[in-house]
A and B are shown apart, each in its own frame.
Chain A
Amino acid sequence: MKSVAGKVLFAAFSVLYPALVFCGLEFWGLSPRRLSLMLIGLAFVHFFNVTKGRSKGSGGSQDRANIVKNFALVALMFVCGAIAFFADNILFLKFYPVLVSLSLLAFFSFTLWKKPSFVFRLACLGDKSIRTSPSCRFVERYCDRVTLVWCVFFVVNATIALGTALVGSDRIWSLYNGLISYILIGILFAVEFMVRKMMQKKMQSYIPVCDLQRDSRPDGAIVCFDGASERTWSEFVSDVSKVRRFLESSENRPWILHCEDSYFFIVALLSMLQSGRKAMVTANRQEAFIKEIKKPGYGFITDTPFGDASAGAVQIQDILNGPEVETLWNSFDKNAAEMVMFTSGTTGEPKSVPKRFSQFENELYELVKVFGDDWVGRKVYSTVNHHHIYGLLFTVLLPTATGLPFRRHRIDYPSELVSLAGEKAVIASSPAYLKRLAADAEKPIEFKYTPIIYSSGGPLPEEVARKCEGITGYWTTEIYGSTETGGIAYRQSKNGPIWKPFEVCKMSIGENDCLNVKSSYILEPEGFTTGDLVEIYDDGRFLLKGRADSIVKIEEKRISLPEVENRLKQTGLVQDVRVVPMVGSRQYLAAAIVLNAEGREKFKDLPKLEINNFFKKHLMQFIENTVSPKKWRYLEELPQDTQGKIKMRDIQALFGIPESPNFKILKMKREPGTVTLKLVFPETSDFYSGHFPAFKLLPAVAQVDMVVTLAHALLGTSQTVSRIQRTKFSYPILPNVPAILEMSYKADAGKVAFSYTLEEGRALSSGTLVMTEAANA
C-alpha cells in the first residue's frame, strides 16, 4: 500500500515538477537551493519505490535492467539536486526532465534489444489471447515499431528539454517541459491509437472455416474475382444456401466433388461440410476413374460437362442459377466433418486418403501463425490444382478463413504473370510452373509490390528458385508435405537446403530411416512415416536425403539413384536428371537428362553416342561400370504429370519405347488414360524414304504407326488396329519441326483418340483408332 502511495506521489511530482519549479522561482520567490530540496526529496521517494519494488521482482533480465536504470536515475537526481543545492544554481534543477526522458529511452530501447518489447508486453497484459493467436507475430512486429517510435520521441524530447534548460528562459523551459512536451506525448498516443485501428482493419480477420457465421464478414466483402467480375460475401452466403438446400433435399450420402472454378468448389465444399455430407475431392475426372470411386448411392457434383450420362453428374451452375432460397448457414463440428482426398502416390495408382476437416483446420491455424502477417491486404492467385491438398489449403481454404479475395481460375501460363504486376499478390505455385517461368521469362517483371510465392508438390531446384527471384524479386517459400501429413516444413533455398518444421510437427526417424511426423493435423497417434530419407538436427530442422526407394540393387550391387544423379549434375552441363532402374534381360540403370545451356552448346552437333560416352566416362571416376546408366535420353523436360510430379514409373515407361533413329521424344506428360508427347522427326528418318524425296513430309501411315507404337508403350493398348475412324490430315508434319502428339485411350471402347498439333496450336492431323481388343491398361 505504501509503495503504491509512493509511486503516485512520485508520478504526480514528476509531472508537476516543471510547473512547481517555475512557480517557486516566479511567484513564491524560492531560491534554487530551496527548490533543490524538492528534487532531492523526489529522489528519496523514487529510491524508496525502487528498493521496495525490487524485493518482489522476478529477477528477469528486463527487471534487472529496469532496476539498474532506476538506480542510475536516482543517483543522477541526487547529483543534480546536490549541485543545485551547494551552488544555489537553477541550471541543474532544469536537467530533471532530460533525465526522465533519457531513463525512459534507456528502458524502451533495452526492451527492443531484449525482446519482447515494452509495448508488446503491455498489449499482452491487456489481451491475454494475443500470445496464442495466429496473428501474434504480426501484433508483435507492430508493437516493436511503436516502441521504436517512442524511443525516437524520447531522443527528440530529451534534446529539446536540454536545449530549453541550457539556453531558454525559465518561462520557456517550464512552458515546454510542463506543457508542450505533455501535449506532444498526448498527440503521439492519439496518432498511434488511430494507426492501430487502421492496422486492425487491414489485418485479415482469421476465423476458422468451421466457425464462420453468416455475418462473419461485411456483406460487400469480396470473396473472389475473375477479370472484372466479383462475388461478394452476401452472394457467397446465398450460393451456399442454394447448394445446401439442394443437398439437404435428398438423403444423406457422400458426394464426389470436382469443380475447376475455385469459387464453385468452395461453395460446394462448404455446403457439404455444413450439411454434414461427406466430400470426396478428386482432381481426376476420367470417366473410368469416376466410375471406380462412385459407389451406388453416391452423388457427383461438378462444374464441367461430364461425358458419361450414367454417372448422374449434377452441374453446380444449374443449382446456382435456380431461384433464391432462405439463408441456410451454420458453423459445424470440424471433428465430425468427413472428407476424402485422392493422391496419385509415388507408384501412380490412385489412393484414397480419408480426412477429418479438423486436420485442415488445424493446419490452417498453423499456416496463418507462420505466414499470416505477410498476407495482409493481398489477393490470392494460384497455378495449382485445388483438388490436391496444397492447392486446397492455400488457394481455397486460406482465403476463406482469412477473408482474402482469390482468383477463380488458375494462372496457366508463365506469360500471364505479368498481368499481376500491379497487384499485391500471394501466388500458390509449384515447381512445374516456376521451372517454366524461369525458362520463359526474358526479363524481370516490374512488380509494384513484391509478390509472395509458395511452391509445393516436389523439390524446387535451387537454380530455378534463384532465377525466379531474379524475375519476381521473391525467393520462393517451399512447403514440404504430403496428402497424408499435410504441411511438414518450409524453406527458402537462399538459406540452404535445410527444412524448418512447422512448430506443431514433431520429427523423428521411423522405419527404414525415413522421416516420421506427428502433428495436430495427423490423426494417428503414431504419426505418419514418409518415404523420405532424412537427417534431423538437434534444433529440429532437417535435411531430406532422397526417397527410400531411391536405393536400388543392380545385379546385386547397391547404388543410390540420387548419387548417380548428383554425379551427373557435377559436370555442370545438366539442368535436371533422373536415373531409374530398369529390368530387361538384365537389370540396369537408365538416365533421362535435360541439358542446361552449357550442355546444349557443348553437345550441339555431336552424335548421341558421343554424349553418352562423355557422361559414362565422367561417372567411371566414381562408380562401377555395372551401375553406370546403360540407356540415355536427352529431353527438353523430364516426363511429368500435370501437377509437375516426376514419377519413376513415367520415366521407366519412356525408356520402354526403344530408341529409334526415326523420331525423338522431347517431352512427355502422362495422366491416367492420356499422354502428351513432344516429338520431332529428323530429316534422316526412314519415314520419309520413298515419299516425295524432294519435299519431305511425314506420311499419314507413319503418323498412325507412331500412335500405335506409342499408345501400346504408354497407354497399354493392344498393338493392332481393327478400324480407323474420322482421320483428318490437314497440314503436313515437316522434318525437324516439333509436333505435339496427344493420345487418350478409352479402355472399355478400345479407342485411341489422337491429334498432332504444332506447339503454337495449329492442328496438323487427328483421328481415332479402334484397337483389336482392349489390352491390360
Chain B
Amino acid sequence: MDCVVTGGNVKVLAKAIHSLSRIGDELYLEPQEDGLTLRSVNSSRSAYACFLFSPLFFSRYAIPDGHGFRCKVAIKSVQAVFRSLATLEKTVEKCHIELDGEKSRLTFTLHCKHGLLKTHNLSFQDSESLQAVFDKDASTNVLKAQPRLLADTVLNFPPSLEEVTVTVSDERVWFRNYVDQDAEPSKAMLTELCLSADEFDHFAVKAQSSVTFCLKELRGLLVFAESTGLPISMYFDGPGSPVVLSVTDSVLDTNFVLATLSDESAVRQQNPKRAGTPLPPLDDFMNDELESYLIAMDTSMAPGPSFRSLLFGSVYPTGSPLSNLTVAGQKVLASDSEEDPEGV
C-alpha cells in the first residue's frame, strides 16, 4: 500500500486514530479497493470501531493487486506519529503511508513545515480481518444529530460516569446516567436530560425502547465528529442488541458498534425471535471473503443485567474447520482465534 494524505485530512486521520485508541490497544489496518480501513476492538469485545477512508480521501491511493493484505500495530505507536495533535494542522503538510509486506514495515512519513521530515518505521503483525457484522439499516430506531448537541448533552455527566441510558419515545429522547443496582441508593445521583425530537436532524423511532451503553467510546467518537463537524447517527433496537454510532460523508464512513446492557426479562422474550433471525445470513457469511461475524452472547445465566459481549469473530479462510463449526452451532461462541483457540 502506498498512499498520501494532505492538508486538513492529516488531522482527520490523526483524530480518527486517537478515537480508535479509546477503544482498543491495537489498530487493524486493511487497505482495500474501496479504501483504507482502520479498526479496533476492545479487550472484552464489547466495543468495535471502524473507519473507512475512501480512495478520494487520499491524494494518492495505491494498493497492490490481488491478495488483500492486512496487519495490526500497537495503536500507541501510531498515536506517537501524530503526537502533537494541536500543532499538526499548522506543521504537517503531507503524510505518506507505506505498507511494505516484504520488509514488514509500516512507514509514516510526515512532511512538515521548514522542510522537516519525520519518518516512523513501525513493525507490525499479520492479522486476521476484524469485522463486526451489523445491519444498521434494519434498526428500528434512528437518530441523527449534530455533534454539538450530543457533546453538550454528554458534558452534563461526570467524567467518571461509565454508562449512559438512552430512552426514546415518539417525540423525545432521554439521556440518563446508568446507576448500578448494587450502588448505595443514598449515594446514587441521577442526572437526566430530555431532548425533543426537533433538536435532531433526523428522528425515526418505530418502537419505544431504552438502551444502556458505555460512554467512553461515544466520547471518543464525539471528539472526532466535532473536529470534522459531521453529524452522528445512532442506530439501535433494544436492550442487549448493539447500538451503532455512525459518522459518514462522501469520503469517510465511520461506525462504532457498542454492546448494550441486556435486560433480564427482555432477553427471554427476545430469544425466540433472535434464533429465528441469525445475525449473519448463512450464505453471505460463507461467501463473504472477509468472513467475519458477530454473535451476541447470551449472558442471561449471569445474575443481574450485564453487557452482552459482542464477539467479533475469528476470521478464517472459507471452509476452515473453525468457521464451519461456528456456523453450524449458532450458540457456539467464536472466540478470538489468537487469544483463545480452545474457547471454541
Do A and B truly interact?
Answer: no
